[in-house]
A = this chain, B = another copy of it.
Amino acid sequence: MNSNIKRPTIKDVAKKSNVSVATVSRIINNLDGYSEETRKKVIEAMDELGYQRNAIARNLKVKETRTIGVLRPKISTTYYVEILNGIEDFAQRNNYSVIICNGGDKWERMSEYLQVLSERQVDGLIVCSIPPDDTLCKRIIDSHIPTVLVSGLSYKYSLPYVKVDDYQAAYSATSYLIENGHKEIAIISGPTEDPIAGVPRLNGFLQALRDNNISIKKNLIKEKGFGFIDGVEGMNELLKTGEKFTAVFAASDDCAVGALSVAHKNGLKVPDDLSIVGYDNTNIAEMSYPPLTTVAQPLYDMGKKSVEMLIKRISNNEKVESIIMPFEIIERETVKKIKNI
């Protein structure tokens, strides 16, 4: 605590300006009930003393901390950075502060964090990519803390969320490939244990194939994960099967870049020999070579939207609707137009 300097309190200001604390408080909070003269006097005293209001004391009194807690997985992708930026910016703009907790790879210590956040009386909670396992959801519900989920949801508990429709997006990305003339399309998908971003994207992919009368080849489906290494492994396995394919749809940009990397290593020209489309549109998509065609999630806006919903929830105590955000296919240079559309 600010070392040995003791900060001036409202009492000090009151004394110095010969008024009561009540009056000082009124002035601080822009209420009315004082003359212009006293206002000046008090302001002056505050300046001289370097008075700053003590938010803690205020919070105790008004039972509101203007703080929102954010739970997120500890993953080094710009994915969460963008979401977080959206959250922070919009929160700050509305005079909320943000306490961040990262939940390790396995969200092990999540309930501890929830506990801490609860004790700290956060006004609300935002959870990024909540684990499919519903225990955390249950805890959140029990805590009665207003919460909104970003890029995740619970099928069991009713918590408002903001995300894109992964099924649709994957369907659309796959269709895009098909429209460009691709027929042998592989996928490196997320794990099927992941009901949020794993299964729907795979299903969207599959359905697009079916709807276009393209037979599904087991060999061309690799269930891996969302990391660079998953892309590498997936692509290697794909190559090893000997099955022919002209395009691959990857579960994430990192994954796509991993695939891209082994393509390079094997002398495959992208997009001439092989097309790749990613997912997310994180920074790396524009930084890869060639720049990655990918389906974009409005990450920043998702973050922003989530706090908007949360604030509405907090202040009006009203139920808010979940929101499906729009996705978009960003055409860059990793898919070849085999036939013109």
Contact = CB atoms under 8 A, between A and B. Distances in A.
Interface of A: 1-5, 52-57, 59-60, 63-65, 67, 74, 76-78, 80-82, 84-85, 88-89, 92, 97-102, 109, 113, 115-116, 118-121, 123, 143-146, 228, 254, 257-258, 260-261, 264-265, 283-284, 286-290, 314, 317
Q: Number of copies of this chain in the oligomer?
A: 2
B144 A52 contact: no
Contact of A283 (B76, B102, B261): B76
A176 to B, nearest CB: 24
Contact of A85 (B55, B76, B145, B286): B76
Nearest to A260: B289
A3 B144 contact: yes
A235 to B, nearest CB: 12
A2 B54 contact: no
Contacts of A284: 284, 287
Given A57-B60, A67-B99, 8 more contacts: A1-B64, A1-B121, A2-B145, A53-B119, A55-B121, A80-B81, A88-B100, A228-B287
Contacts of A81: 76-78, 80-81
Nearest 5 A/B pairs, CB to CB: A55-B119, A264-B289, A2-B144, A55-B120, A76-B78
A92 B97 contact: no
Nearest to A69: B97
Contact of A77 (B78, B100, B290): B78
